[in-house]
Amino acid sequence: MNSGSQYYIPNLELRKKINEVSNNNLSICYQCSSCTGICPLNMLFRFNPREIIRWGQIGIELPEMESLWKCTACGACEFVCPKNVKITEVIKAYRSQMMESGKDVPPSIARTLEAFFTQGNPFNLRAKDRLDWTKDFGENVPIAKEGTDVLYFVGCTASYDPRSQGIAKALAKIFNHTQINWGLIGNDEKECGNCVNFMGEYDLSDFHKEENLISLKKIKPSIIVTTSPHSFNFIKNHYNLPESTKVYHYTQILDIFIKEGTLQFKDGAQEQKITFHDPCFLGRHNKVYDEPRRVLESVPGVELVEMKNNRELSICCGGGSGNAWRETEVGERLSIPRLEEAMDTGASVLTTSCYFCLQMFEDAVKVTNNDEKIKIKDIAEIVSEAI
C-alpha cells in the first residue's frame, strides 16, 4: 500500500443508524450507478450518489462532508433507480447523523437552521412580522377562523422575501376574484417542515409540523392550498390530516377554478411566448405535471413552448434541500444551464410555480447578464395580471 493511502475503520453503529433512519434503503442498493449517471450536479462537478450510499453501507463518515449538502433532493436519481431506493432518504439520514455526532456543517446551513429554530423561518425575521406583506397592497387578506373553507398556507419565503411576496399577493388577488371563503393562519404559521426535514433536522421539522397542526385543527379547513411545492409535499404526505381535508398546490386549485368558470380572464391580453420549468417537488416528487400547463394555456395570449428536458426529465433549479440558503459558487449553480435551456426555446418568459425556482432563475439571469433577454415570473403572477 502506498504511503499516501488512507484507511477507514467501519462504524457499525453509524451504518445501523443511517439504515434505520432511511427506512432500510441502504440495504436495497446494489451499486448500479444509475443515480450517478442522471444526477444533474454532474453537469457541473463530480457528485456521486452511489458512492455516498456505499460509504453508508460500510458505515464510514464521508471523506468530504461538504458533498452531503450539495444534493438538492431533486429526485432524478430515484426516478431512474431500478431498485426504487429512496436515495434522498439516505442523504438526509447521513446529514442527521453527522449533525448529531457534532460534525461541522456549512456556515450558511448552520445559520439557516439556527434561524428556523429561533424564529420559525430561515430569514431570522420576527414571527410577528410574518403578515407584513399583507399591508397596503389593495386586497383584503383575511385571517382564517373555524369554518373557513380554504386555508392558504403562504410559506416562509412568500411571507418574508420581498420578491416572493409578489406570488402571495397575486394569489390573494386571485382568491378574492373567485369569491371563495379563504384565509391565512397568520403570524402563528411556522415553516412547513419540509426544508428542515431535508436538511436532516428531524426533531425541529416535527416541532414545526405539530405547531402548524394546532392551527389547522382549530380552523378545520376543507381545503389547504400552498404557495410552495415543498410545503405541498410535506403537508400532503406527512401531516396525517383527516381524509376529508384536501391539500392542493395552488396550480391545482387554479386549474379547478378555471374548469368551474369561477376564474375568468379579461380581454385584450398581450401575446407572449412562455416556457415552463417543472419544480422537482411538484413534478417528480408528486407527479403534478398537467395542471400548471393547463393553467398557462388557459391564459389569453400565452403560447407555451417546452424545454428539451421537461416533466420527469426537468433539470433542477438548484434550490432544494436547503441549497436556497447555501453559499454556492457560480460554476456550481444548476440554474444557469437550466436558464440556457429555457432561452433556447425562444421564449420571452421563463415561468415556474415555486419561489425557490424563481429566486434561483432570477439570480441566474443577473449573473449571466441575460435579464434584458428573458423575464422570470411565477404562474400566479401571470394569472393575476390577466384577470
Asked whether 111 and 54 are in contact (CB, 8 A), the reply is no
Which parts of 283-325 fold into alpha helices (H)?
Answer: 290-298
The per-residue pLDDT for 150 is 98
| 21 and 93 part of one domain | yes
Angle, nearest 10°, between helix axes 107-119 and 202-219?
30
The per-residue pLDDT for 98 is 79
Provide the grid cell at 216: 389547522
| 222 and 253 part of one domain | yes
CATH number, domain containing residue 287: 3.40.50
The per-residue pLDDT for 77 is 95
E-assigned strand segments in 209-330: 223-226, 246-249, 272-276, 302-305
Burial class (CB in 10 A: 0-12, 13-18, 19+), 148: buried
The per-residue pLDDT for 1 is 34
What is the distance between the alpha carbons of residues 276 and 293, in angstroms, rounded to a whole number?
Answer: 8
In a domain, 36, yes or no: yes
| 276 and 254 part of one domain | no
DSSP track, 41-101: GGGTS---HHHHHHHHHHT---SSGGGGGT-----HHHHH-TT---HHHHHHHHHHHHHHT
| 278 and 349 part of one domain | yes
| 57 and 129 part of one domain | no
Task: Check the CA dihedral 253-259-263-268 and report its sign.
Answer: positive
| 247 and 147 part of one domain | yes
The identity of residue 173, as a single letter, is K
In a domain, 138, yes or no: yes
User: What are φ and ψ of residue 320, in 5° steps?
Assistant: -80, 165
In a domain, 321, yes or no: yes
What is the distance between the alpha carbons of residues 169 and 113, in angstroms, rounded to a whole number?
Answer: 27
Among 201, 225, 259, the domain boundary falls at 259
In a domain, 7, yes or no: no
The per-residue pLDDT for 20 is 80
Among 235, 259, 283, the domain boundary falls at 259
- SS3 label, residue 234: helix
The per-residue pLDDT for 153 is 99
In a domain, 287, yes or no: yes
| 255 and 272 part of one domain | no
In a domain, 114, yes or no: no
| 271 and 197 part of one domain | no
| 286 and 375 part of one domain | yes
Q: Per residue of the chain (387 residues), give pLDDT as tens.
A: 344 556 667 777 778 888 887 777 888 889 999 999 999 998 899 889 998 888 888 887 766 667 788 999 999 999 999 998 889 988 888 888 878 777 778 888 889 999 999 999 999 999 999 999 999 888 999 999 999 999 999 999 999 999 999 999 999 999 999 999 999 999 999 999 999 999 989 999 999 999 999 999 999 999 999 999 999 999 999 999 999 999 999 999 999 999 999 999 988 777 899 999 999 999 999 999 999 999 999 999 999 999 999 999 999 999 998 899 988 888 889 999 999 999 999 999 999 999 999 999 999 999 999 999 999 999 999 999 999
In a domain, 112, yes or no: no
Number of structural domains (the chain) is 3
Query: How many CA atoms, within 13 angstroms, populate the side-chain half-sphere of residue 208?
Result: 30
| 251 and 336 part of one domain | no
| 128 and 86 part of one domain | no
Domain that holds residue 36: 12-100
Among 259, 292, 324, the domain boundary falls at 259
In a domain, 105, yes or no: no
Pairing label, strands 182-184, 223-226: unpaired
Asked whether 146 and 140 are in contact (CB, 8 A), the reply is no
| 159 and 243 part of one domain | yes
